Structures are given as C-alpha cells and as structure tokens.
Structure 1
Amino acid sequence: MKRSSSTFNLAPAKSEENSSIGLDRKQPQKMKPVDRESLQQQSYQALRDALMKGRFMPGDTVSLRNLAQELGTSPMPVREAVQHLMAEGALVLRPNRTFAVPDMTREILAELKQLRVILEGSVAQAAGPLIGAPELSRLYELQGQMRAALAIGDSKRYLVNNQDFHFTLYRSSGMSIAVNIIETLWLRIGPSFNLLMSGDRAADRDKKQAASLTDHHEAALAAIAAGNPSALRSAIEQDIIQGMDFIIECMPA
C-alpha cells in the first residue's frame, strides 16, 4: 500500500548540439495525479480484508491516524473508508467520537452462524465441479500452512490462511453476488475468529484438539477430489458449525 520512495527526474533531458539537424526538445509525459477515489478504495479494501482475517478483536478502537500511517496515506481516505465500513456494520461510532469494532453477543453470533451455514454451504457445493487444478493446488497449500500454524500456535497466520482457503473455494463458484454477501458476513464475524485461538477456553485446548480445526477442510478436499459436491457442502457446513459453536461458547452468557 505504501507508495514507492523512488523519484522521477521530470526535467527535460539535454539535447546534443546539432545545428544541422535541429533536434526538437520534447517535454516528458506528465504523470497523472493520484486519484483520491483510488486511495479511498484501496484503504477500504485493506481495512475490509484485515477485518475478515481477524486483524482486530471485538471492541478494539480504531485510530484514523494510526491506520493512515500504516497504510501510507493521509487520514482523509481512511476516514471515508471507515465510514463505508460503518454503513456495512463492520465498525461503529462510539459516544466519545471514536471508531470501534462492534462487540458481539451470543444472539448475533447464532444468527451469523445460521446465515453462514446456509449461504456458504450452497456456494461451496456450486464451486465443487468448477474447481480447476490451480485452485485445488492452492487449497492444499493453504491447508498445509494452517496445520503448520496450529502446530506452533501462530493464531494470526492460521486465521489469514483460513480466510484464504474459504474464499479460494467460494470464488471458484463464479457466484460473485453470493461471494460479496459472504464477505459482508465475514466482516462481522472476522474479529470474533480470534476467540478460536485465544482466551481461557482456547488455552485449555491441547494441540490435538486445535488440529481438529482443519479436519473439515481435509474432508472438503477429499470431496473435491472425489467429485462429490454434496459431501463438499457438508464438510464446509460442519466446519462453520464447529468454529461458530466454539466462539459462541466463549462468549459470556
């Protein structure tokens, strides 16, 4: 996201003396000014992706100044991106005029779970017959990276790879509208994914139990290899149910 520090020499190049030919001195083509809307869109996409990947926790305060510094831009496009995310319910404005990731309740999580099971299961089933060799290879790669992350307790890497696994699968369906809706659901649930790997209950879970977080992904890959879309749908639904149930149990009653 940060712009390159390379500089460009915009001064006209010196032409060699040649009175017989009389070379024309052409001005170099000017660069187009940076589009403000492009900066806003890039900031929005970066923040959206961070929320879906669990970069923030529920209740975290979002500093426009810090975000702008991290993204290498001014606060203005970040503010516009944050306002867009507020409209999607991914961020809220608190009484003290600060922006924050919404807190979650068991009721909200239960509703998100139901929506995810219905929508993501059906999109996964549609994607099954359409997954090509490059996508399947990527899914196997991500599965291996998730297992490695769990083995060393790298929760952030696990969450990043988990999000990539699911959306590599969903985008193979070609159902762009459905995928956009799923992304909106993940905007809401992404911060709560941190509860899978942190907190008292997660600390009590041993490595064998943690490894089970990828068992349904293994079943999904087997279903793809067997050409069984129904089994693929079931594997993804069970993956969602397992994860969401654990998160809900971590929430205070």
Structure 2
Amino acid sequence: MKIVKVGAIDSTNSYLRELMKQSYVKDATVVVAEKQHKGKGQGDNQWSSEEGKNLTFSVLIRFDELKVVHQFMLNYSISIAIYNVLRYYIPEKLSVKWPNDILSAGKKICGVLSECVLKSSNVNYAIVGIGLNVNQENFSDDLSNATSLKRILNRTIDRDELLEKLLLEIQYQIIGVRKHEFKKIKSQYESILYRNGVPSMFKNADDQEFLGRIIGTSLMGNLIVELEDESLKEFGLKEIKFI
C-alpha cells in the first residue's frame, strides 16, 4: 500500500484522479491531505474539516470483476470497515446512517464518498474518499450535528495510528467484495444500520412527510422501507431523508 501525503489541496478524490491521468496508479494507493479546500460529500455537499485535526483521505480500489449492479457492496464494506475500527474507540451508540455516514449517538463523525469508474457492465475501479472527525473540537453552526473522537473521548487521538488501522480494515473488508460475499456483507451492514426496524419520520423527494420503518437494503443499494399500510417501497439516493 502506497501512501501519498499532501498539504492543502482541493480534494483527495480529485488529486487521486489527476495522478491517474499522469501515470498508472497501483491498487490500494492512498492520498492523505492535511487540508481540503473543496472536500466532497454526497451529491453537491461539501465536507468541511479543520486543518491538521482530522483524517481526510482517498483510496484507489481496482476490481477484476465487480458487476455494476453490485457496486453498492463497496459502500457497504467501507462503512463496515470504519465502524469496526471506531467501535474500539467508542463501542456504544455507533451506527451507519444509510447510505454511508457513520454516527455516534446520532451525530455525524464520518462521511464516505465512493466514485466508481465503469467499464462495460463492470466496475473498473473506485476512488473512495473518507472524512473522519478526529481531533476537531469546534464546528460551525451549520455543522451542529457533527462530532469528533476528541469531543467524545476528551483526549487527543494519534491520527497516524488511526489511519493505519482504518487502511488495514478496509483492505480486509474489500476481500469480501472481491470474493462476491454479498449476502454476508449485506447482513453485516444491516446489523449496524441506523434506526433499522424503528418507526421513523421521513421526507420524500417532494418534501412530503411520512411514517415508515426501515427493514433493510437491496443489493442495488436502495433503502427498503415499510410504509404505514404495510407495503414496501425502495428509495434511492436523494429520494428519502430522515426528519
């Protein structure tokens, strides 16, 4: 595993893409930044992080055979990997909010952005960007639902040690994706899914509120919700949000 450490850049995902334009980049290459000017989140969202306090990094993952229809298994496995590492720091009240935000007691501590490049019906490679709040203590008003390891534990965390643990666990979980152990991955993911099986209020893409109960996810990565009339409905990204 090759680790490239940089100072202030736009985003680690963008930096890694530029490296790939210049020459061949090996599988499991990692770019770690002290500061991102334009850190990316899901959709048009940005990931804001205080310089030198957190972990913002991207990993290149190449695949020989991963069908496009199973690309969300990558998201599942990355979420599981981060969860498995963080639970040794904060063993209680840790969960994964669909599709891949990591929460501690309902507050966001980590976000993941996977950008897949396709070749025919397969995933050629993916650039997985991860932003983890480690030692940042103060967050702006629009990030009032954010937290960090230091906030929770009241101590400074060794970022290099934490990064090493995360990268080892990510590599381990990706083995399952490459072996097509999709049922096992899906089951593990759903076991740590935020508010799974709990009646909750949601909004759909038309801003209509409704009561539902998450009962799982599909192999396509959609969220499966049981509605009040006991019917089941699948929701994709940007089609549903918690209230």
TM-score calculated relative to the size of structure 1: 0.26
Bigger relative contact order (CA 8 A; separation at least 6): 1
Q: Which has the higher strand share?
A: 2
TM-score of the two chains, using structure 2 as the length reference: 0.27
